[in-house]
Amino acid sequence: MDSESFSFVESALVFGLLEDQNFKKFNHPLSQFVVHKDAVEWSMKFRDEFKESVDNGALLEKYPSLRTDARDTNFDYAQQEFKKQVLFRQVIKSFADNKNLLSSNPKSALTSIVNSLADVEVGYDEDVSQYDDGEIHRLAEYEDRVEKRTLGEGMIGIRTPFRTINATGMGWQPGELVSFFARPTVGKTWLCVKIACEAALQGKKTLLISPEMPKQSIGMRVDVVMSNMMGIKLSHHAIRTGSQMDVDVYKKFLQSNNRKNLMISDSISGEDSISMSGISGLIRKYHPDICVIDGVYLVSTAISDRAAWEQSHSLFYGLKNFALSNNMTIVAATQATREAGANLFQPPGPNQVAFGDALIRASDVALSMCLVENFPQLRDVQFQKFRDGVLGSDLATLKWDVNQGLITETDMAAI
């Protein structure tokens, strides 16, 4: 490998890191840059100081040695090529560091080279991470969490609709599978929309997948929930049925809602139904911070000829693996079992999840929801599982006026 190839790949990375979605995926120490280290360090410092990326023009003006023909290179490809270059240099260094010893004591040099190459292999292997490598990156990760809690909303992760969870300072975390379940007609889709809107309004890239409902219908629900959270009052009934309403208010909301970070899908190109492989493709394509799946029991798996419990095990643990491997949150909604005489005013338990309890076992957070007797505009949500600490309460009550898009936690004493 020559310095020209180093320059091209590093230039592609420097330009690519100006995009937030690429910045999140980059996992190499800056010390591994050998040609454009100054450029990437300055770009990172600019981001830290001004909380935004420097533009291409300013970057090229300060560092004209960057390869402009590398600007449109696919970032994932550039990162993979950079990894090969790092491996190449580390292998060469393993031999170079033992050059003198090789002349005087070949046997000791062989042992030293083998050990050095083994360390290189561990560092290169994607299946493991080297814990005790002397780097202080975990300190930087801790300081980042402190900054998020100090400068943000007192929360490290993605804001949730639940004060009880938000009060822990954690929110929804990357790598987590969050599940909730309820009996039919209780409102799973509306809660999915609320969770997605909370994340999107926080600036998180959000993917909302609905095997149960067409995206036009989901979009109507997003309109009223999102507008309510923005202080704009709309009516879901009016939008859905074409009844009279203030069109100027609706127009104002649609024009002001231009974050472009909430994506909705009810199907996947080339598929008759939404499948695990299709969801994986959407995640790889859009790199969301959070993916919300409404009606996860309708997602097909590659083992459709197996028993229902085997399919559900493959589905739910597959979703957990998606969350881990993509460092994102996945929220999955499913049905509770349709038991004869089931009490709609009692939160279903972990043993009442349709197709078995694999979803609960795979989840980091599990919730169940039910109606509230004599209060049609309320919903009770019970926290069945919360892996990250102890919650102040295991029950939350939601004010539930979905026509106005109002879904917010409330106190029963205030009703």
Question: pLDDT class for 358, splitting at 50, 70, 90?
Answer: confident
Same domain for 91 and 170: no
pLDDT beyond 90 at 121: no
Residue 388 in this model has a pLDDT that exceeds 90: no
User: What is residue 335's three-state secondary structure?
Assistant: strand
Domain presence at residue 149: no
Asked whether residue 305 falls in the same domain as residue 334, the answer is yes
**What pLDDT digit, counting tens, does each position of 135-148 carry?**
676 787 787 777 77
Its domain, for residue 286, covers 158-414
* pLDDT in the model for residue 208: 96
Q: Is residue 145 part of a domain?
A: no
163 pLDDT exceeds 70? yes
The pLDDT of residue 303: 61
Burial class (CB in 10 A: 0-12, 13-18, 19+), 342: middle
Q: At which of 139, 166, 199 does a domain end?
A: 139
Number of structural domains the chain divides into: 2
What is the model's pLDDT at position 20?
A: 80
Are residues 231 and 135 part of one domain? no
Is 150 a member of any domain? no
Q: Is the pLDDT of residue 351 over 90?
A: no
What mean pLDDT is predicted for residues 355-380? 91
What are the residues whose beta carbons fall under 8 Å from the beta carbon of 203, sequence distance 6 or more?
A: 259, 261
Looking at residue 212, its amino acid is E
pLDDT at site 148: 72
Q: What is the pLDDT of residues 222-263, one digit of tens each?
A: 999 999 999 999 999 999 999 999 999 999 999 988 888 999
pLDDT band at 200 (very low <50, low <70, confident <90, very high): very high
168 and 317 in one domain?
yes
**385 membership: H or E segment, kind and range:** strand 375-386
Same-domain status, 110 and 214: no
298 and 406: one domain?
yes
In this structure, are 69 and 175 located in the same domain?
no
- CB of 344 within 8 A of CB of 372? no
Element (H, E) at 4: helix 3-16
CA 234/CA 257 separation, integer angstroms = 14
Same domain, yes or no: 347 and 287 = yes
Phi, psi dihedral angles at 356 (to 5 degrees): 105, 175
Q: How confident is the model at residue 133 (pLDDT cuts 50, 70, 90)?
A: low
In a domain, 151, yes or no: no
Q: For residue 12, is it within any domain?
A: yes
pTM: 0.69
- Whole-angstrom CA distances from 338 to 76, 190, 342, 343, 350 are 45, 20, 7, 10, 14
CATH code assigned at 264: 3.40.50.300
Q: Same domain, yes or no, for 328 and 397? A: yes
Say whether both 133 and 162 belong to one domain.
Answer: no
Task: Judge whether 317 lies within some domain.
Answer: yes
Write down the pLDDT at residue 187.
95
Beta strand pairing call for 395-401 and 406-410: antiparallel
- Compute the Cα dihedral for 50, 54, 60, 65 and give only its sign: positive
Tens of pLDDT, residue by residue over 48-99, are: 777 788 888 899 999 999 999 998 898 888 988 998 898 899 899 889 999 9
Which of residues 83, 110, 139 is at a domain's end?
139
Q: Does residue 342 belong to any structural domain of this protein?
A: yes
Q: How many CA atoms lie within 13 A of 157 on its CB side?
A: 20
User: What token pair was written down for 111?
Assistant: 């042992």
Residue 56 lies in a domain: yes
CATH number at residue 92: 1.10.860
What is the arithmetic mean of pLDDT over 389-394?
77
User: Could you tell me if 215 and 85 lie in one domain?
Assistant: no
Answer yes or no: do 135 and 219 share one domain.
Answer: no
Which of the listed residues 78, 107, 139 is the one where a domain comes to its end? 139
- Return the amino acid letter for 132: D
Which residues touch 285 (CB under 8 Å, ≥6 apart)? none
Distance, in Å, from the CA atom of 306 to the CA atom of 184, rounded to the nearest integer, reads 25
